[in-house]
Amino acid sequence: MIPVLWAAITITFLLIRYAPGGPFTEEKNFPEESLQRLNEHYGLTDPLWVQYWRYLGNMLRGNLGPSFKYPNRTVNQIIAETFPVSLELGTQAFLFACISGIVAGLLASLRPNSLWDHTCMAVAMTGICVPSFVLGPILVLIFALGLGWFNAAGWQSPADRILPVVTLGAPYAAYIARLTRGSLLEVLPREYVRTARAKGLSETHVLLRHVLPNALAPVVSFFGPAVAGLLTGSFVVETVFHIPGMGRVFVAAAFNRDYSLILGLVVFYAFLVVLFNTLVDLLLAWLDPRVRMEV
């Protein structure tokens, strides 16, 4: 984990400084003196290795530096403000994707090749194919502008969560539905399921205790990449719905050449991805005793 993080930081550090234009490149020319003063203040006039070393030292002490674009805020503050928003959006989208995906897949698998099954899977296919920057505005058009049920943008009231969460979660719900259905169709005809039913257990008991834990393993493996995608892919949804989350800040930081903010976010994201992959491994172990024994 440490070497990966270190490599990410170093490569990012070098790459952003070689991109044309800097944090103070503006259309209306900065007077020479001002530019010089600002570059000095932010340490950009020091040799590159000095800046690098200083950044690493500060980072290890938990100080990710000031934002170059927003002088009255530090990177730590920006992350503290925006991460909870992205986390809330991502978590709710994830829950929505899991619940609707698993339920849809489950229902489809119980009546394979029926109209219900085909409809579910067709909707799922659309959910996977339609990108969020198309789906989002369509939902806004229908539910916000057409029916007037919601706001078109913003993250103020609880109702503002609904459209973005559906937009972000839709492709994952669709994927999970298809995975669940396929996996269940594979598990349901197995011998031990018939045995369980023969023992006289209720259908619900059979489904929940014997079928789902085995069938959900592929779905849970999908969680790792899904969560990473939900957290990082939220940029599009955050832009479409004007949500003050971290994804949008990340892209803006790149456009603004806000060096410290870009680096701080790279560090943070890299750490998150590694964390979530570890958690998923643990979850898989809990679900599947065979993996547990290996671990």
Instruction: Give yes or no for residue 158 binding other proteins (CB under 8 A).
Output: no
Instruction: Give yes or no for residue 22 binding other proteins (CB under 8 A).
Output: yes
Is residue 130 classed as helix, strand or coil in its secondary structure? coil
| Chosen residue from 17, 63, 123, 155 binding other proteins by CB under 8 A | 155
The pair of structure tokens assigned to 145 is 């502008």
State which residue, 24 or 52, has the beta carbon closest to other proteins: 24
Say if CB 237 and CB 136 are below 8 A apart.
yes
> How far does Cα 127 stand from its chain's mean position?
17
State which residue, 137 or 182, has the beta carbon closest to other proteins: 137
State which residue, 130 or 274, has the beta carbon closest to other proteins: 130
User: Tokens 């065979």 sit at which residue?
Assistant: 290
Paired with 66 in beta bridges are: 74
Q: Cβ 286 to other proteins, closest distance in Å?
A: 26
State which residue, 233 or 245, has the beta carbon closest to other proteins: 245
Binding piece for other proteins, criterion CB under 8 A, among 55-63, 89-97, 226-234, 239-247: 239-247
Q: What is d(CA 110, CA 150) in angstroms, rounded to the nearest whole number?
A: 35
Q: Cβ 26 to other proteins, closest distance in Å?
A: 7
Q: What is d(CA 119, CA 181) in angstroms, rounded to the nearest whole number?
A: 13
Instruction: Give yes or no for residue 260 binding other proteins (CB under 8 A).
Output: no
Which residues 134-153 are close enough to bind other proteins by CB under 8 A?
137, 140, 144-145, 147-153
Measured N-to-C along each axis, helices 246-256 and 75-110 cross at an angle, to the nearest 10 degrees, of: 130
The pair of structure tokens assigned to 99 is 């619940």
Say if CB 190 and CB 215 are below 8 A apart.
no
Which residues 78-137 are close enough to bind other proteins by CB under 8 A?
78, 81-82, 137
The pair of structure tokens assigned to 203 is 């259908």
Q: What is d(CA 120, CA 173) in angstroms, rounded to the nearest whole number?
A: 11
Q: What is d(CA 265, CA 232) in angstroms, rounded to the nearest whole number?
A: 11
Q: Cβ 109 to other proteins, closest distance in Å?
A: 13
Q: What is d(CA 221, CA 216) in angstroms, rounded to the nearest whole number?
A: 9
Instruction: Give yes or no for residue 35 binding other proteins (CB under 8 A).
Output: yes
The pair of structure tokens assigned to 121 is 């899977």
| Chosen residue from 3, 189, 204, 293 binding other proteins by CB under 8 A | 204
| Chosen residue from 2, 3, 18, 26 binding other proteins by CB under 8 A | 26
Give me the residues that bind other proteins (CB under 8 A), please: 19-22, 25-31, 33-38, 41, 66, 69-73, 78, 81-82, 137, 140, 144-145, 147-155, 159, 204, 239-245, 248-249, 255-257
